[in-house]
Amino acid sequence: MSASSPSRASLPVVGISACVREINTLPFHTVNQRYLAALVEAAGVMPIIIPAIGCALPFETVAAQLDGLLVTGSPSNVEPHLYGCERAAPDILHDPARDATTLPLLQEALRQEVPVFAICRGIQELNVALGGTLHQFLHAVPGRSDHRSDKSKPIHERWRPAHPVQLTAGSYLARLAGAAEVMVNSLHAQGLDRLGEGLVVEAVAPDGTVEAVRVAGARCFTVGVQWHPEALYAEDRLSRRLFEEFGEAGRQRAAARLQRSAAA
């Protein structure tokens, strides 16, 4: 059975992180359509939006009911005090309600061995959740390139591949890609600095920026990427394989949960 056509009985439920956005002075919990489409079309799962309401969520209970957790990108950034730093500038966009939701939910998902796919801001949250730190202005770090998108280009062009990344030899991503190097898009101002506990590097940009990680020793799909595969999965092998593998991990967890329920 293909990832795009699972039976309804086995359809895994994947939680997807939401951002808080103000629309007409009212707060809304939002998710970009691209993530939803990739989860349905490439991963073959049912996405459920998790509101950014922090400790009002029973994280242990929520994680136990999920077959996967997708942590999305966002225009906002993780609050620097959460990784022991001061704000580098007063005008950096933050979303404290999202931080208060995703960081503890990630920790609980990892504890319960829920498959995790962390994208852009998501990889940064994964790193912080595991005790790592971030560069707040990656382009200001000596020797690093400017990884921000070119705002002078039309929006659809900003999501196109922008630079290569080198995949770690023999790594999980290298096996999925069937290649040592792939092209990725680039729409981030921040990036990983000190790696969180248990993370291993899967891909690196030419300037040394970490572009992908996985949790060493994890017994299910637990991957973070700095680029946006949800914009490339229809045409790029690695992007699609990432969603397919994430979906398969979700199906395996859903089947195991069903077996436990039947045996109870």
Active site annotation includes 228:
yes
Active site annotation includes 108:
no
* CA 240 and chain centroid, separation: 14
Length of the chain: 264
Residue of 69, 75, 76 lying closest to 94 (CA atoms): 76
Position of tokens 């620097």? 80
Query: H/E/C letters for each residue in 100-124?
Result: HHHHHHHHHHHHCCCCEEEECHHHH
Residue 96 in 3-state DSSP? helix
Active site annotation includes 94:
no
**Structural contact between residues 98 and 76, judged by C-beta atoms closer than 8 angstroms:** yes
**Annotated catalytic residue within 120, 125, 135, 244:** 120
Amino acid present at 246: F
CA distances from 134 to 99, 116, 189, 209, 255 (A): 14, 20, 11, 11, 37
Residue of 117, 1, 14, 8 lying closest to 68 (CA atoms): 14
| Cα gap 57→65, rounded to integer Å | 13
Phi, psi of 122 (to 5 degrees): -60, -45
| Cα gap 113→260, rounded to integer Å | 15
Phi, psi of 88 (to 5 degrees): -75, -20
**Annotated catalytic residue within 135, 147, 188, 228:** 228
**Annotated catalytic residue within 79, 230, 244, 248:** 230
| Catalytic site positions | 120, 228, 230
